[in-house]
Amino acid sequence: MPHTLHPYDAGHAGEAGYGEAAVAALGVDARQLFKTLVTVVDGTLTVAVVPVATTLDLKALAAAAGGRKAAMADPAAAERATGYVRGGISPLGQRKALPTVVDESALDFATVLVSAGRRGLQVELPPVELVRLTRARTAPIGR
């Protein structure tokens, strides 16, 4: 599968946010770099992948995941379930495969960037590959 790794200095991302820091460091479009958010939909940990330029619409995510209610997961639970640390959670290669929903805007790009599993490293790949590898569904979950 064609992909490109993009290392960058994650620096002090805490204030601006990890996604925003990656956008600034790599000089990419904030609509093309996606953040990985771990949520809980009707009691089930669920991954949402949305552009850094947007916020997650929890109601839309719940509907897309076939549930009624969605909320952000506890960060410690997200880290335990995925095997990654906050700010470096990748939708790929998680410890346990979680249900995943990718914002449909990803399909507007030839390639998208997502965390490669640690702070300071993004992987660029075709969105169809991201969806295939994560067994995701796509839906309009960003706003």
Residue with tokens 């490669």: 116
Residue 27: which residues within 8 A CB-CB, separation 6 or more? none
- Flag whether pLDDT at 11 surpasses 80: no
Residue 84: which residues within 8 A CB-CB, separation 6 or more? 90, 94, 115, 117, 118
Q: How confident is the model at residue 16 (pLDDT cuts 50, 70, 90)?
A: low
**Which domains, ranges and CATH numbers included, belong to the chain?**
4-139 (3.90.960.10)
> Could you tell me the pTM of the whole model?
0.94
Taking alpha carbons only, the member of 130, 129, 128, 108 closest to residue 36 is 130
Residues 74-127 have pLDDT tens digits of 999 999 999 999 999 999 999 999 999 999 999 999 999 999 999 999 999 999
What is the side-by-side order of every strand in the sheet holding 121-125? Answer: 4-7, 121-125, 112-118
Taking alpha carbons only, the member of 102, 108, 72 closest to residue 90 is 102
Residues 45-63 have pLDDT tens digits of 999 999 999 999 999 999 9
Q: Is 4 helix (H, G, I), strand (E, B) or coil?
A: strand
